[in-house]
Amino acid sequence: MSTPQFWSTPLRYLRWASHERPAIFYSLIIGSMGPVALVGLPPLRRALGDVDPETIPMSYPIPAGPRTFPKGYDDE
């Protein structure tokens, strides 16, 4: 049995890789779980009842209604 190729027999190649190159195989799996977690975890978190925190304000709130500008001087 020669070394299996990935493109012709993917499942057999994966089984071979998990036996012969376990460190690289499983670290690829663990590493590719990262982006999956990034996409999959927030819906799960919301489904379990966690509420998204408010976004941190980056500027001052603009007051509603007309603004009043002071006229003249206070001490006059």
Interface with other proteins, residue 47, by CB under 8 A: no
**Measured CA distances, 37 to 27, 28, 45, 66 (Å):** 15, 14, 11, 47
Q: Considering only the C-alpha atoms of the chain, give the largest distance between any 2 of them, rounded to a whole number of Å.
A: 101
Q: How many CA atoms lie within 13 A of 9 on its CB side?
A: 10
Q: Of these, 3, 8, 35, 68, which contacts other proteins (CB under 8 A)?
A: 35
Closer residue to other proteins (CB): 34 or 66: 34
Q: Determine which residue in the list 6, 9, 15, 28 makes contact with other proteins, applying CB under 8 A.
A: 28
Decide whether 52 or 76 has the Cβ nearer to other proteins. Answer: 52
